[in-house]
């Protein structure tokens, strides 16, 4: 992509943009160049959205028109010019300098090494007004939208081809060749049909899985604040072009690479790009050598990083694939996503089974030969047995089932961003929960003030202590970023709570701000739990401070009483801290407020006058306590993480029922800092609550829990939570309140702030894992039964009980449909009452394998027994039906077939079995099929034998597994 760049030469056309109709605030424009050019139409739409005052725009490549809704101030000629520019009209002379026009940007500029002004000039951006909309439109047409490349999925033909090159297919091919060589042309044709049918089914399921997976990482970013034509507006991220002026505010995700031209206390979290977990301070004046690494380019901001504090103004230098993160993606683009742990495990299981089966097949063939059977027949049996017994596509089973799980979650408003997140969800052992906003509603209210030794409820703020109360609330209001918005107050809940209390006392926010204009501010930061602002008004200078009570109090030397200022002696300090503890013990967030009249530098925060304590109440989110309880029942530890002090955290934990055994263990994060990692790993898992946590502590806590061997999920509201969310096995961004930053790094995005979504996600994660186990139990068990029949017969010296064609049929009829349906089982009612699976152990334990083989042996044994006396067709039908019946047993590991509280009915499974039964009836009833399969007549005795062969194994296996169900309920599923 070009950085700005020359416009492509397009022939000038006689027909240009026409206005089809114009109503105030609504225009329809037409241009033939839009026709049959969807990409140009999209560029036109984005360009029109970039005109200040435009609220909606659409452009159609079918009709060749564009529809715009806008403010009355937007003129038709302006829209015409912009649309024309977007469609390649040569630029008219515009206000840009010649230097800006030229932009010979074939090779990337070293924007970070230039002064900001030079960069602005080179990019043709007026540092106050931003780009004119028409110029932006032209650049968009030339350089393309600001989008990152999407990874291409495999095509249907590629997937199909992959199916045809698998080992089972190669075996089938060999078997077909042998058939033809020995005169069995019909067999060869049938084998070909089986191969194609199987590959077709597999392609269809894998393709839909792939579509789901490709959609995973897509989160539409929110529009970003920018300047165009001298007006501030919200621009879609895709509409940004080099030279655009963007505004940086806390919580936004930087939408493109950009050169800073102004920055005030701007800090950015660049962990996505550099791995550095602490925010980096940016500086518009910074110029670094051309070869400086990304992490040191302090005059630049980069796409994909998050603004954590302060504000800034920057000029876009690169968009889309030309951004640093775009280039990294381009490097990674060709790489297929790594297999998830389950996919890897299943691949391994498949290979092992293949090996074992190979040996068995060779044995069957060898024994047959030794007994003097003709070798072509033995060869064919051995190969067909191999085909039938190899559970093909085991990794695909995992992929498909995981993808189905993801779709299920999407229906419940849970957005999963990585395939392996589904299986990890099922294994979560610890959930770290943000207190504010996740467990509490983050709707704060000032519930108490402590002034001059007295604790006051809101009704008493206007009483005798009014003077001190007003001083406190006034100071807190000045020391805040709250703004008046159309629908009340806009700002953080903590600050709005204080300002609202001030307003209720009759203070006028606008007047107060006008009297005391803010000159400087120092915000909260890592290791600094207070905010300070410096104001200068007619009455001189004023330093206002609010924050953690202990921190603020330590900087005070005087205190305000009802009768004026007094010294702050040790006794008064003690009384204040005692009041703080009492308020915190009532689950209030407590802030200390202080001021210094007469100014000075806010860096120099000393000699302040203590005004008092403010206690803010934040109601628990309805359902939070229930959600915590549900997590505990599910065998998952919960940990609450908060920046508040221990006493507040303790009180809220009590209300939530956070401890499992009645005793809340609170750990102060400050104590963690100096601990060696091993001590931390031993200590962290003991805690129920982490108090006074800073963003970098969060990362430390996640790491410590992981070091102790636990699978950790972590919720976050974003701005500074990025590194911790990324480090946790499962990072969860909570719905409405979450920032773009959080959404970008999270593995799971919940649509609502409701913790119920998290429980749902864990339930579905576990159910998906259980479903993969169910499919495995079915596939491995039934395939084993076929091997056992053939091996048993060979050992005993019987003729082969099943013909190659019958084995193929068995595999085609009894394997795929029920397996797919088992992968779609709804969660069992008690998944959330069991323990999470052990992520460190394989999905099938040795015990599991023994069980699967035993179940296969029972089914195979019954089929083998039926060969004594019953007509040969009964063995074939009996074995098929026994396998289908086995599918029902595979539905639950903890409940028997007839348990009332067993899994809910699965209509898909019933349907799948129905289809299989119909096919099986056709095998006997339709002449050509019957001949192909070499089936003789069945007769009443045959019916009876078939029924017995089908049902006896079900009963036997059912009884055996019932014996172990109780125990399984109390163990990890894969123990």
Query: Which residues does the annotation mark as catalytic?
Result: 434
**Residue 530 interacts with which of Mg ion, ligand ADP, none, CB < 5 to 8 Å by class:** ligand ADP
CB of 628 to ligand ADP, least distance (A): 16
- Name which of 345 and 694 has its Cβ closer to Mg ion: 694
Q: Which of 435, 500, 596, 891 binds ligand ADP (CB under 6 A)?
A: 435
Is residue 642 near ligand ADP by the rule CB under 6 A?
Answer: yes
Which residues in 277-336 contact ligand ADP (CB under 6 A)?
A: none
Q: Which of 78, 109, 529, 637 binds ligand ADP (CB under 6 A)?
A: 529
CB of 504 to ligand ADP, least distance (A): 19
# residues contacting ligand ADP (CB under 6 A): 17
β-pair partners for 56: 69
What is the SS3 assignment for 264? strand
Is residue 432 near ligand ADP by the rule CB under 6 A?
Answer: no
The CA dihedral of 235, 238, 239, 244, to the nearest 10 degrees, is 80
CB of 524 to ligand ADP, least distance (A): 6
Q: Which of 281, 311, 329, 492 binds ligand ADP (CB under 6 A)?
A: 492
Binding part of the chain for ligand ADP, among 10-18, 68-76, 527-535, 965-973 by CB under 6 A, reads 527-535
Residue 926 has a CB neighbour count (10 Å cut-off) of 13
Give dist(CA 722, CA 699) in Å, integer. Answer: 9
- Name which of 384 and 700 has its Cβ closer to Mg ion: 700
Structure tokens at 276: 């550095």
- Name which of 132 and 309 has its Cβ closer to ligand ADP: 309
Quote the distance between the C-alpha of residue 181 and its chain's center: 55
| Cβ(449)–Cβ(456) below 8 Å | yes
Give dist(CA 602, CA 828) in Å, integer. Answer: 60
> What are the angstrom distances between the C-alpha of 287 and each of 118, 276, 297, 673?
12, 20, 8, 34
CB of 546 to ligand ADP, least distance (A): 5
Give the binding site for Mg ion (CB under 5 A).
436
| Cβ(130)–Cβ(230) below 8 Å | yes
Q: Which of 327, 524, 654, 930 binds ligand ADP (CB under 6 A)?
A: 524
**Residue 787 interacts with which of Mg ion, ligand ADP, none, CB < 5 to 8 Å by class:** none
Binding part of the chain for ligand ADP, among 46-54, 455-463, 540-548, 574-582 by CB under 6 A, reads 540-548
Q: H or E stretch including 767?
A: helix 756-796
* 381: Cβ contacts below 8 Å, ≥ 6 apart: 364, 365, 368, 790, 800, 804
Give dist(CA 186, CA 198) in Å, integer. Answer: 18
Q: Which of 198, 317, 436, 883 binds ligand ADP (CB under 6 A)?
A: 436
For 715, phi and psi rounded to 5 degrees?
-95, 155
**CA-based nearest residue to 522, from 301, 269, 281, 719:** 281
Write each residue from 576 to 615 as x if it is in contact with ligand ADP (CB under 6 A), else as -, in one continuous string: -------------x-x------------------------
CB of 529 to Mg ion, least distance (A): 11
Give dist(CA 555, CA 200) in Å, integer. Answer: 74
CB of 503 to ligand ADP, least distance (A): 17
Is residue 496 near ligand ADP by the rule CB under 6 A?
Answer: no
Structure tokens at 497: 């709570």
Nearest residue to Mg ion, scored by beta-carbon proximity: 436
- Name which of 236 and 695 has its Cβ closer to ligand ADP: 695
- Name which of 698 and 774 has its Cβ closer to ligand ADP: 698
Q: Which of 4, 368, 547, 973 binds ligand ADP (CB under 6 A)?
A: 547
Is residue 644 near ligand ADP by the rule CB under 6 A?
Answer: yes
Q: What is the DSSP string of 10-73?
A: ----S---EEEEEETTEEEEE-GGGTT-HHHHHHHHHHHHTSTTEEEEEE-TTT-EEEEEE-TT
What is the SS3 assignment for 644? coil
**Residue 345 interacts with which of Mg ion, ligand ADP, none, CB < 5 to 8 Å by class:** none
| Cβ(855)–Cβ(786) below 8 Å | no
**Residue 529 interacts with which of ligand ADP, Mg ion, none, CB < 5 to 8 Å by class:** ligand ADP
Nearest residue to ligand ADP, scored by beta-carbon proximity: 643
CB of 618 to Mg ion, least distance (A): 11
| Residue in the structure block whose two tokens are 């019933």 | 910
What is the SS3 assignment for 754? coil
Q: CA neighbours within 13 Å on the CB side: how many for 673?
A: 12
Is residue 643 near ligand ADP by the rule CB under 6 A?
Answer: yes
CB of 247 to ligand ADP, least distance (A): 22
Give dist(CA 945, CA 871) in Å, integer. Answer: 8
Quote the distance between the C-alpha of residue 695 and its chain's center: 20
- Name which of 210 and 688 has its Cβ closer to ligand ADP: 688
- Name which of 547 and 722 has its Cβ closer to ligand ADP: 547
Binding part of the chain for ligand ADP, among 130-138, 183-191, 399-407, 546-554 by CB under 6 A, reads 546-554
Is residue 477 near ligand ADP by the rule CB under 6 A?
Answer: no
| E runs forming strands in 827-974 | none
- Name which of 176 and 439 has its Cβ closer to Mg ion: 439
**Residue 930 interacts with which of ligand ADP, Mg ion, none, CB < 5 to 8 Å by class:** none
> What are the angstrom distances between the C-alpha of 71 and each of 27, 59, 81, 240, 735?
11, 18, 17, 21, 32
Length of the chain: 975
Is residue 78 near ligand ADP by the rule CB under 6 A?
Answer: no
Which residues in 653-672 contact ligand ADP (CB under 6 A)?
A: none
- Name which of 256 and 608 has its Cβ closer to ligand ADP: 608
**CA-based nearest residue to 57, from 140, 147, 163, 178:** 140
**Residue 166 interacts with which of Mg ion, ligand ADP, none, CB < 5 to 8 Å by class:** none
Q: H or E stretch including 791?
A: helix 756-796
**Residue 880 interacts with which of Mg ion, ligand ADP, none, CB < 5 to 8 Å by class:** none
CB of 759 to ligand ADP, least distance (A): 22
> What are the angstrom distances between the C-alpha of 929 and each of 807, 870, 936?
14, 21, 12
| Cβ(616)–Cβ(552) below 8 Å | no
CB of 432 to Mg ion, least distance (A): 14
- Name which of 31 and 688 has its Cβ closer to ligand ADP: 688
Binding positions for ligand ADP, rule: CB under 6 A: 435-436, 492, 494-495, 524, 529-531, 546-548, 589, 591, 642-644
């Amino acid at each position: 992509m070009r950085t700005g760049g020359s416009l492509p030469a397009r022939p000038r056309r006689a027909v240009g943009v026409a206005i089809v109709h114009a109503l105030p605030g609504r225009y329809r424009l037409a241009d033939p160049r839009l026709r049959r050019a969807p990409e140009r139409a999209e560029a036109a739409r984005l360009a029109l959205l970039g005109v200040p005052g435009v609220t909606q725009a659409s452009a159609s490549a079918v009709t060749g028109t564009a529809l715009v809704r806008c403010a009355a101030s937007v003129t038709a000629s302006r829209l015409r010019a912009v649309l024309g520019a977007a469609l390649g009209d040569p630029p008219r002379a515009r206000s840009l300098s010649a230097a800006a026009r030229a932009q010979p940007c074939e090779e990337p500029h070293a924007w970070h090494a230039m002064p900001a002004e030079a960069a602005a000039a080179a990019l043709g951006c007026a540092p106050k007004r931003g780009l004119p909309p028409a110029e932006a439109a032209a650049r968009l047409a030339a350089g393309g939208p600001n989008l990152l490349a999407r990874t291409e999925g495999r095509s249907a033909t590629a997937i199909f081809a992959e199916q045809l090159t698998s080992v089972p297919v190669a075996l089938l091919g060999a078997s077909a060749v042998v058939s033809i060589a020995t005169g069995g042309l019909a067999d060869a044709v049938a084998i070909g049909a089986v191969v194609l049918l199987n590959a077709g089914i597999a392609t269809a399921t894998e393709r839909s899985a792939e579509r789901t997976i490709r959609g995973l990482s897509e989160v539409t970013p929110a529009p970003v604040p920018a300047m165009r034509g001298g007006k501030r507006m919200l621009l879609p991220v895709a509409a940004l072009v080099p030279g655009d002026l963007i505004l940086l505010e806390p919580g936004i995700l930087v939408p493109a690479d950009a050169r800073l031209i102004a920055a005030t206390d701007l800090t950015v979290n660049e962990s996505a790009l550099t791995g550095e977990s602490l925010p980096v301070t940016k500086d518009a004046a910074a110029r670094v050598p051309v070869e400086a690494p990304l992490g040191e380019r302090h005059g630049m901001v980069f796409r994909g990083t998050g603004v954590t504090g302060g504000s800034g103004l920057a000029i876009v230098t690169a968009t889309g694939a030309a951004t640093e993160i775009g280039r990294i993606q381009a490097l990674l683009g060709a790489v297929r996503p790594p297999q998830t742990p389950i996919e890897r495990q299943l691949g391994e299981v498949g290979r092992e089974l293949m090996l074992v089966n190979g040996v068995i097949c060779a044995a069957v063939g060898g024994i047959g030969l030794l007994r003097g059977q003709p070798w072509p027949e033995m060869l064919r049996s051995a190969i067909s047995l191999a085909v039938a017994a190899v559970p093909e596509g085991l990794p695909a089973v995992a992929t498909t089932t995981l993808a189905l799980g993801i779709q299920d979650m999407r229906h419940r408003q849970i957005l999963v961003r990585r395939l392996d997140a589904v299986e990890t969800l099922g294994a979560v052992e610890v959930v770290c929960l943000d207190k504010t906003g996740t467990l509490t509603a983050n709707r704060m209210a000032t519930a108490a003030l402590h002034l001059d030794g007295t604790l006051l409820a809101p009704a008493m703020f206007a009483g005798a202590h009014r003077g001190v109360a007003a001083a406190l609330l006034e100071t807190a209001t000045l020391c805040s970023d709250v703004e008046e918005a159309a629908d009340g107050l806009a700002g953080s809940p903590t600050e709005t709570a204080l300002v609202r209390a001030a307003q209720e006392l009759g203070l006028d926010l606008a007047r107060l701000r006008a009297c005391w204009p803010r000159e400087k501010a120092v915000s909260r930061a890592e290791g600094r739990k207070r905010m300070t602002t410096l104001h200068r008004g007619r009455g001189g200078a004023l330093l206002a401070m609010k924050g953690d009570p202990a921190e603020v109090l330590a900087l005070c030397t005087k205190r305000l009483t009802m009768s004026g200022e007094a010294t702050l002696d040790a006794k008064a300090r003690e009384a204040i801290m005692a009041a703080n503890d009492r308020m915190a013990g009532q689950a209030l967030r407590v802030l200390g407020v202080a001021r210094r009249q007469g100014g000075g530098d806010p860096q120099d925060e000393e000699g302040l006058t203590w005004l008092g304590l403010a206690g803010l109440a934040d109601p628990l989110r309805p359902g939070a306590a229930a959600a915590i309880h549900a997590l505990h029942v599910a065998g998952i530890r919960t940990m609450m993480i908060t920046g508040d002090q221990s006493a507040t955290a303790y009180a809220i934990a009590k209300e939530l029922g956070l401890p499992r055994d009645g005793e809340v263990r609170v750990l102060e994060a400050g104590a963690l800092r100096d601990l060696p990692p091993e001590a931390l790993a031993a200590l962290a898992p003991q805690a129920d609550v982490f108090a006074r946590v800073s963003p970098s502590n969060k990362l430390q806590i996640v790491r410590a829990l992981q070091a102790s061997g636990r699978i950790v999920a972590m919720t976050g509201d974003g701005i500074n939570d990025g590194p911790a969310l990324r480090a946790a096995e499962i990072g969860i961004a909570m719905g409405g309140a979450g920032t773009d930053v959080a959404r970008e790094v999270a593995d799971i995005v919940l649509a609502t702030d409701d913790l119920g979504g998290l429980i749902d996600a864990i339930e579905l994660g576990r159910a998906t894992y259980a479903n993969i186990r169910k499919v495995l139990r079915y596939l491995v068990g039934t395939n084993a039964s076929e091997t056992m029949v053939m091996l048993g017969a060979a050992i005993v010296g019987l003729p082969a009980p099943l013909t190659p064609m019958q084995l193929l049929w068995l595999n085609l009829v009894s394997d795929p449909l029920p397996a797919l349906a088992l992968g779609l089982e709804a969660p069992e009612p008690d998944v959330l009452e069991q323990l999470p699976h052990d992520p460190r152990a394989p999905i099938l334990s040795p015990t599991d394998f023994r069980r699967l083989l035993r179940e296969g042996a029972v089914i195979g044994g019954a089929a083998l027994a039926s060969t004594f006396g019953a007509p040969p067709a009964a063995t074939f039908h009996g074995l098929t039906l026994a396998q289908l019946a086995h599918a029902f047993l595979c539905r639950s590991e903890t409940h028997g077939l007839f348990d009332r509280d067993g899994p809910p009915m699965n209509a898909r499974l019933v349907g799948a079995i129905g289809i299989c039964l119909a096919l099986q009836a056709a095998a006997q009833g339709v002449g050509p099929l019957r001949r192909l399969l070499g089936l003789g007549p069945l007769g009443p005795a045959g019916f009876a034998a078939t029924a017995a062969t089908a049902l006896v194994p079900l009963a036997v296996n059912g009884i055996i597994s019932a014996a172990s169900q109780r125990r399984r309920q109390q163990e990890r599923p894969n123990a």
